[in-house]
Amino acid sequence: MQDKALYAPVPPASTAMRGRCPRCGQGRLFKGFLDTAPACTACGLDYKFIDSGDGPAVFVILLIGFVVVGLALYVEVTWQPPLWLHALLWLPSTLILSLGLLRPLKGLMIGLQYQNKATEGRLVDGKADGGDAAP
């Protein structure tokens, strides 16, 4: 992906975390909650390069799991509440935190993908394409 368009420099990762185009910072990155738009409405950047895969979901699971399990253990050891209170505390907390972090983390992955010009790996003459590295 060679992007030769002239636009004011914006930090792609933080701009994409806010749901904006990583190139111009103006157009919308998402058309739904997690569905990416086909292209930027402001600068025309084609979003076909986007492939965040399961990365954002994995990071959310690991981060939220660490926080919620740590807090649940602390509450259990400190106050020893009944199980129904644990369920009342931690199930909604997990859902709200997960949904709140999923879109910004997907935007971060897309912004980093754009910033680092990440592309799908290819085989050239039976060898992995190393990009700009000399053979």
Distance of CA 77 to the CA centre of its chain: 34
pLDDT of residue 38: 95
- Determine, yes or no, domain membership for 65: yes
Q: Which band of pLDDT confidence, cut at 50, 70 and 90, is reported for residue 19?
A: very high
- Determine, yes or no, domain membership for 27: yes
pLDDT of residue 62: 97
- Determine, yes or no, domain membership for 3: no
pLDDT of residue 135: 43
- Determine, yes or no, domain membership for 134: no
**Are the beta carbons of 60 and 54 closer than 8 angstroms?**
no
pLDDT tens-digit series, residues 122-134: 778 766 665 554 4
Of 30, 24, 85, the closest CA to residue 52 belongs to 30
Range of 57's domain?
Answer: 12-117
Q: State how many domains the chain has.
A: 1
- Determine, yes or no, domain membership for 2: no
Q: Which residue has the higher pLDDT, 5 or 91?
A: 91
Total-model pTM: 0.83
Cα torsion 8, 11, 12, 16 to 10°: value is -110
**Are the beta carbons of 103 and 52 closer than 8 angstroms?**
no
- Determine, yes or no, domain membership for 83: yes
- Determine, yes or no, domain membership for 64: yes
The stretch 53-74 carries a mean pLDDT of: 96
> Which residues 6+ apart lie within 8 Å of 38 measured at CB?
31, 46, 47
Q: Where are the beta strands (DSSP E) in the chain?
A: 123-124, 127-128
Give the dihedral sign, CA 120/45/60/11.
positive
